[in-house]
């Protein structure tokens, strides 16, 4: 009975070590993805501001794109 108990204990210790490693790996992945998401959100906001700036600077006062004559006329 002692041998069976020791083998079960060793198996449980092995599983625990594997799970600890897995949890650590998953935590690193989540932390990296969090940093990536923050960086992508900042980049998206920056690009959105640039698009807005281009839209604001591209239109002459009083001219709307729907009233422009196409260049081939």
Whole-prediction pTM: 0.60
Question: From the first residue on, what is the mean pLDDT of each consecutive set of 10 residues in the chain (73 residues)?
Answer: 90 98 98 98 96 80 62 73
pLDDT score recorded for residue 63: 55
Report how far residue 17's alpha carbon sits from residue 24's, in angstroms, rounded to the nearest whole number.
11
Report how far residue 19's alpha carbon sits from residue 13's, in angstroms, rounded to the nearest whole number.
10
Query: 62: alpha, beta or left, given left = phi > 0 and alpha = psi -120 to 50?
Result: left
């Amino acid at each position: 009975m002692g041998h069976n108990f020791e083998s079960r204990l060793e198996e449980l210790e092995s599983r625990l070590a594997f799970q600890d490693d897995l949890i650590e790996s998953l935590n690193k992945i989540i932390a990296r993805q969090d940093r990536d998401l923050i960086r992508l959100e900042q980049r998206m906001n920056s690009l959105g501001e640039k698009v807005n700036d281009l839209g604001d600077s591209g239109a002459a006062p009083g001219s709307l794109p729907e009233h422009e004559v196409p260049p081939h006329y």
